[in-house]
Amino acid sequence: MIYLRLPARQLAAILAGLSLAAVASAPLHAADAPLVKIENFAFTPQTLTVKVGTTVTFENDDDIPHLVVANDASFRSKALDTGDTYVFTFTKAGDFAYFCGLHPHMQGTITVAP
């Protein structure tokens, strides 16, 4: 075994750095990721603001299929059955309006801030 003797201040700094590294590398929990629920023929929330690089999950909680389609064609899900999810990572800033490809009256907007 190797033993190192470090001054208390230096040891505290090393331990603090390790603690911060552990927190910074901790995985995101589902509660931390933005979620848009599809229920009662609506997107909830209807508007959402996130930062560039954020992954948004769309989850179908209705009894029938839905599609998530961006007005500018930047993203499009497959048909989502009950319980299915679709994830999309927003890599550029802007306003992204979307609708349900099967029920066009269902609409929402994701605002992506730099």
Nearest by Cα to 74 from 50, 56, 90:
90
User: Residue 93: which residues within 8 A CB-CB, separation 6 or more?
Assistant: 52, 112, 113, 114
**Dihedral sign computed on CA atoms, order 80, 82, 84, 86:** positive
Q: What string of pLDDT tens digits covers the 114 residues of the chain?
A: 455 565 656 655 555 554 444 444 444 444 578 999 999 999 999 999 999 999 999 999 999 999 999 999 999 999 999 999 999 999 999 999 999 999 999 999 999 999
Q: Domains of the chain (ranges plus CATH)?
A: 30-113 (2.60.40.420)
pLDDT digits (tens, 9 = 90+) for 32-45: 789 999 999 999 99
pLDDT of residue 33: 85
Determine if residue 109 is left, alpha or beta; phi over 0 gives left, psi from -120 to 50 gives alpha, anything else beta.
beta
**Dihedral sign computed on CA atoms, order 95, 113, 83, 85:** positive
The model's pTM: 0.72
The order of strands in the sheet holding 55-60 is 42-44, 35-39, 55-60, 85-89
104 preceded by cis ω (within 30°)? Answer: no
pLDDT of residue 26: 44
